[in-house]
Structure 1
Amino acid sequence: MERFVLHAPEQPELKILHSIYAKMALDKALRDFRTEQILKEIDRALQYRNKEKFLQLTGELKSILE
């Protein structure tokens, strides 16, 4: 009788690829989180007419999005 294995042992190349995908997903999640924080801070800087803070935050946002 032939037996089928549901989870065959992974190849080292696949483990490396999975690690890369996991790092990419984590990096994106962190970038998205920081972007949301910066956008809220920009709104606050605009509300309080803080030009210096606004320029600092927009510069930081620009560097994140590049």
Structure 2
Amino acid sequence: MDKMKVTYEVMLGLSAELVLDEALRRYKSDKLYREIDEALASKDEVAFRTLTDELKALI
């Protein structure tokens, strides 16, 4: 029974880590999209290219 509890706790920890990783990825992605929109609005081509490269690496 103890082995089952340890396995459950490990799986629960991994699930929590996956949820956190996805939340962070989504936050970073949303932030990059907003910054890309700002770069487009200000016609900053260098910032646009840099930010889109970051977004491509994230996705």
Is TM (by shorter chain) over 0.5?
yes
TM-score by length of structure 1 reads 0.82
Across the two proteins, how many residue pairs are aligned to each other?
57
Runs of 4+ in 1 over 4 A off after TM superposition: none
| Unaligned runs of at least 5 residues, structure 2 | none
Of all paired residues, the percent bearing the same amino acid is 30
Higher relative contact order (CA 8 A, sep 6+): 2
Structure 1 position 32, deviation (Å):
0.3
TM-score by length of structure 2 reads 0.91
Root mean square deviation of aligned Cα: 1.3
| Unaligned runs of at least 5 residues, structure 1 | 1-8
Looking at secondary structure, tell me which structure has more helix per residue: 2
| Cα distance in structure 2, aligned partners of 1:20 and 1:39 | 28
SS in 2 for 1:49: coil
Structure 1 position 34, deviation (Å):
0.7
